Amino acid sequence: MNVRLLYFARLREAFGIQAEEVALPEEIRDVGALSRWLQGRGGAWRAELAPGRAYRVAVDQEMAGASTRLHEGAEVAVFPPVTGG
């Protein structure tokens, strides 16, 4: 499954990347699995997305949870808790 990943704010800087297109292995079907797959990259990915770290994920521009399903062509954004207003 191909998805577009976007990163914002502190996580964009920690990962050193703003956006990427990735082809996910077949077994990666939801946000929780994607997060574990990204942690497998090690380094900042493992540190920032480890259990207990505060980050948010949106799928197709809607806030998502670990069980939110992914789909072909999804736009998945990973970012820190928001601080606007």
Q: Would you tell me which residues interact with other proteins (CB under 8 A)? A: 6, 8-10, 54, 58, 61-63, 77, 79-85
Q: In the complex, what is the shortest distance from the CB of residue 22 to other proteins, in angstroms, rounded to a whole number?
A: 19
How many helices (H) and strands (E) the chain has is answered by 3, 5
Q: In the complex, what is the shortest distance from the CB of residue 10 to other proteins, in angstroms, rounded to a whole number?
A: 4
Residue partners of 39: CB distance under 8 A and separation at least 6: 45, 46, 49, 50
CA distance 8 to 18: 7
Q: Which of residues 33 and 58 has its CB atom nearest to other proteins in the complex?
A: 58
Q: In the complex, what is the shortest distance from the CB of residue 28 to other proteins, in angstroms, rounded to a whole number?
A: 22
